Structure 1
Amino acid sequence: MTTTSPTALITGASAGLGRALATALAERGWTLVLDARGADRLAEVATELARVTTVEAVAGSVADRAHRAELAAAVRFHGPLDLLVHNASELGGSPQPRLEDLDPHTFETVLQTNVVAPAALTRQLIPDLVAAHGTVLAISSDAAVEHYEGWGAYGASKAALDHLVGTFAAEQPALRWYAVDPGDMRTAMHQAAFPGEDISDRPVPESVVPALLRLLDTAPPSGRYRASEYAVREVLA
């Protein structure tokens, strides 16, 4: 089935930044394929956004090969893929352990979700992205380039994700490839990273979305961006 509206696949779309970006794209009339592990919450988001656009919700873990095949099938039903958003992430414990205390299974789970799965899903969908001259947007973190106690597993996974995005960009230069550090946000994952702390001073995910939309609209060269810097750069231009 081919649609006239652009199509986006967003992983981790049931809450936080994924949900906020899905909402913004829905308001622009995008066709959405949404993924998340929690089926009930994902269904609620899909029902809400279906009032304004075409939405298909596919619940499951991106770390599961069969689920990734379901996502690819959903994308192909709706037409070429204009935007692939890698937003689903695994934190690696709450509180997050020091590297010397990190359980090997936890480390493997973080890498599977944050690195192996996005790489595999991207490879599956490259023909669909090429058909639409599409864009890949991977949500990164400052922990990919800075070093914080307890953030070893998550930071290493995001550094690897950044590297994958850059290498894909070198190998597929006709597409746009972005790794974006959104900054601190008031999300369930961020709260899990700081258990017991008050994170109400962090900005809500919706505040980051305008920078992401500006990035997509202006289509700068492939690379790694910080949402805050990009927003400032565009305002001053």
Structure 2
Amino acid sequence: MSEHRPTALVTGASRGLGRALTADLARDGWQVVVDARHGDALAEAVAGLPGVVDVPGDVADPAHRIALAQAVEELGGLDVLVLNASLLGPSPQPALADYPLDVLEQVLRVNVVAPLGLVQALRPLLRPGARILAITSDAGAEPMDGWGGYGTSKAALEFLASVLAVENPQWRVLVVDPGDMRTVMHQEAFPGEDISDRPEPETVVPALRALVDGDRPSGRYRAADLVVTS
């Protein structure tokens, strides 16, 4: 990155991967703007972290996206945008033939429309060479029984990101599949099951940092495939 103090925006930072990445960036000297729907949980997640600005709200709300852009503008611009906030949908997840369409619309608003809206709001503030990390899932790349709603939203996010990369070669648009993790969302996807064998989100952060700090071109990456060097 350049000589200025780098700045990131991480959505969905109150728990899971967003929280883990925020903590890592903040402790490494980054300025980080974060959001999540629940303000109390977000404040608790970033308490004590240096250089973190928390802006609670729903990424599907246009007014909230404007507030995030204003917070970034006050910090002077953006080097990394992490599109991490996601909505799973019903739990347990129904087959597509039974999927409630009003819920599907909500999933698509959060997982597809909101990320694009945020890119549009932040476009004037994204510095040349900025990284945009779109957090996806293997459910967005291959059909899986019961994952039709969420998977459709992630497939759409992946295609959206690939077009953004073609249209904006000044950015690196990086689609990232973090793999299974021990998170609240993953537990909601498998209600009643023991997911203690899944890795903690912190184990995925080095792979994300390889994309943030490295020079890999726009494209789709699996965290498990990234070789992280010290």
Fold similarity call, TM over 0.5:
yes
Residue in structure 2 matched with residue 215 of structure 1 by the alignment: 211
Tell me, yes or no, if structure 1 residue 103 matches structure 2 residue 97. Answer: no
After superposition, what is the alpha-carbon deviation per residue over 1:92-117, rounded to whole angstroms, capped at 9, x for unaligned? 11101110110011100100000000
Tell me, yes or no, if structure 1 residue 33 matches structure 2 residue 33. Answer: yes
Cα distance in structure 1, aligned partners of 2:161 and 2:196: 32
**Is the 1:191–1:197 Cα contact (8 Å) retained in structure 2?**
yes
Residue in structure 1 matched with residue 156 of structure 2 by the alignment: 160
Residue in structure 1 matched with residue 111 of structure 2 by the alignment: 114
> What residue identity is the alignment partner of 1:144?
G
Cα distance in structure 2, aligned partners of 1:218 and 1:133: 11
Q: Secondary structure at the match of 2:90?
A: coil
Residue in structure 2 matched with residue 9 of structure 1 by the alignment: 9
Q: Secondary structure at the match of 1:186?
A: coil
Shift of 1:194: 0.1
Q: CA RMSD in A?
A: 1.2
Shift of 1:132: 4.7
4+ residue stretches of structure 1 with deviation over 4 A? Answer: none
Residue in structure 2 matched with residue 70 of structure 1 by the alignment: 67
Tell me, yes or no, if structure 1 residue 127 matches structure 2 residue 119. Answer: no
Tell me, yes or no, if structure 1 residue 59 matches structure 2 residue 64. Answer: no
Shift of 1:219: 1.9
After superposition, what is the alpha-carbon deviation per residue over 1:40-80, rounded to whole angstroms, capped at 9, x for unaligned? 0101123221xxx2111000100011111111111101111
Q: Secondary structure at the match of 1:48?
A: coil
Length-normalised TM-score, structure 2 = 0.96
Residue in structure 2 matched with residue 21 of structure 1 by the alignment: 21
Is the deviation greater in 201-210 or in 3-12? 3-12
Cα distance in structure 1, aligned partners of 2:116 and 2:34: 18
> What residue identity is the alignment partner of 1:173?
P
> What residue identity is the alignment partner of 1:126?
R
Cα distance in structure 2, aligned partners of 1:101 and 1:142: 22
Q: What is the number of equivalent residue pairs in this alignment?
A: 227
Cα distance in structure 2, aligned partners of 1:133 and 1:226: 21
Identity of aligned residues (%): 56
Cα distance in structure 2, aligned partners of 1:98 and 1:132: 43
Unaligned runs of 5+ in 2: none
Unaligned runs of 5+ in 1: none
**Is the 1:14–1:41 Cα contact (8 Å) retained in structure 2?**
yes
**Is the 1:80–1:132 Cα contact (8 Å) retained in structure 2?**
no
> What residue identity is the alignment partner of 2:202?
E
Residue in structure 2 matched with residue 143 of structure 1 by the alignment: 139
